[in-house]
Structure 1
């Protein structure tokens, strides 16, 4: 069973690395293609837009297909499209390849979450879920900085490396994973799989809160590399070091998440964490380099605690459509990051630079907290919600 844990960790590590790779490379790519700051953020947004759009159909479709086949095909397409980004000769070509890479990731990542209960014994499911999430956290701690260092030699190199390694993982999945075909249930339409969530008010409130949470954090993340370069005059390598520190914060948060939740409870973990995030997002742009490093380390540690908690609450709404819920959560996250990348460019250029981004992120976090507290997803009301979301 260890081989499955390692495989799922590495798949999520590659997807996570590719997701955040462009952020520290943004100043270099902007100069390479000669585009304005206002539209440069779409090199991040194209990936997340592709992922958000196709995640809406990948989960429901895969619930009726062989998950092994879907994962291998998605991972192969992901590896090829990411490698092609390194050959992009124009801004528009880069947007196209990033869009396809995001769409391919939408068919891959949800299969990881949905496959774990199928191949792991019940007593290992929770631990393996944590290991897979650790792959995303480790991507920010190690993958993104390594990509920045590789880009110091030439910017296409990290895209080629991710593409090659992802293709190797597709081959490993082909050799290691068993067939995971649907268990004989009748196939249903894509929309019908969403109906239990559409009808459930708690689910609607929970996904709204999840959208706002990622909109706030994604907007702050999108132009962080640009802010580092402009405000502190850091090189790509130095930005990579900064991002590594933030990634360690996410990794630390994911490690201590369960202990924090046991001590504070889910409701107070979310409440205290998000109030702290709002304060730090407003304060961060006004600090010096060393203070900013500490402050944003805390930000990403708190996010590392909150994200797996919220994902667990969402996927617990209805176990019978867990794949659909995971895909919808992925679509929500990437849709928020797409919108955040676009808004970040507008705020950075037309308003008070990164300070306006910080204020916008704080406002999103406060609205997200309100949706969590009053929407019923947090413990206290969620039990009834789970019963209501069960299909008849």
Structure 2
């Protein structure tokens, strides 16, 4: 029963931090209009959040290898909570950037320790299963959190989405205090902080695997960031209706992530990453080419969601075991590389989309995902352990 409650608690935390990240995409047109700025400037709020996460995660992550991880989770989610409520109060784009930065730093302290707790508490097939279940919280945040946020935005304005996010974060924090067990100090030595970096640097294939994550996420977020804007402009939907389109993606990705551990166990992480990476390239191109028909857009979104769910779960499960003694450090860098991918994906997309449209960002995404597949194939040639 304790394990079940623990999984539920971690799932809720991942759900709400995921919702806060993903909800921005369909809100960009509303933020653009409210602050009278360009879509590129509005998208910069995603870049700021991601950059603060990417820079903060490697700094905060090793703390989880030295201090109680539950305590760090509490601090992280409180910072995230403050950032969410401040975003709801933002009255100009510059204050919004600052408040998104605060939320990003809170998430940077929270999520790496969640993955590290899972890696420490579970092992073998159980680890694959639990990793898939908890990661599915990100997918459910798209299916439920994004439409909920856009509905609140449609009822009032986009600020309501962040009031809702803050309220759910407060509930998740309460659950966290009850269901997540206290995690003992891993290493109390003062030198442990820097030793964690050293272990990671000398780990076989570590940087290579993290680079795969970066390239993969660059491809995914370069197209996801502007998905809401594309749907709104192409099919003339309002903010609430655009959010409902994300339900198809979110539910499909939730199913794939939930059962991703099962697929990883049977296919192996390497085969799962390669197969789903190749399929991602095909579905991203399909989404870009058949962009004028709503039914095809939804169809390719569903297919893309499925292969992304399976592939990312397999990649994360592999990375969490690269350096078992320093999982917080490893997962902090994993999160950092993920959000660096988001940072550069949204940044490059902000340049490409206004000039070349959705097909332009689609081609960028397909190239990046294809590169991730090539890197995954190359990693097996440096054999010291098995992907």
Match of residue 355, structure 1, among 355, 359, 372? 359
CA shift for structure 1 position 34 = 0.8
CA shift for structure 1 position 106 = 0.8
Contact 2:6/2:181, CA 8 A, preserved across alignment: no
* CA pair 330-237 structure 1, distance change in 2 beyond 3 A: same
Contact 1:39/1:342, CA 8 A, preserved across alignment: no
Contact 1:40/1:345, CA 8 A, preserved across alignment: no
Matches within 5 A, 1:161-310: 161-183=164-186, 185-188=188-191, 190-200=193-203, 202-287=205-290, 288-310=293-315
* CA pair 383-121 structure 1, distance change in 2 beyond 3 A: closer
Work out whether 1:43 is the aligned partner of 2:45: yes
Work out whether 1:156 is the aligned partner of 2:152: no
* CA pair 178-82 structure 1, distance change in 2 beyond 3 A: same
**TM-score under structure 1 length normalisation:** 0.91
1: distance between equivalents of 2:122 and 2:216?
31
* 2:259 alignment partner, SS class: helix
Matches within 5 A, 1:47-66: 47-66=49-68
- CA-based RMSD: 2.2
CA shift for structure 1 position 256 = 3.5
Where structure 2 has 5 or more consecutive residues not aligned to the other structure, the ranges are none
Work out whether 1:139 is the aligned partner of 2:141: yes
Contact 2:73/2:113, CA 8 A, preserved across alignment: yes
Where structure 1 has 5 or more consecutive residues not aligned to the other structure, the ranges are 386-392
**Mean Cα deviation higher: 153-162 or 289-298:** 153-162
2: distance between equivalents of 1:111 and 1:258?
19
Residue in 1 that maps onto 2:350: 345
* CA pair 262-88 structure 1, distance change in 2 beyond 3 A: same
* CA pair 159-60 structure 1, distance change in 2 beyond 3 A: same
2: distance between equivalents of 1:303 and 1:244?
15
* CA pair 124-223 structure 1, distance change in 2 beyond 3 A: same
Count of aligned pairs between the two proteins: 382
CA shift for structure 1 position 272 = 2.4
1: distance between equivalents of 2:90 and 2:37?
14
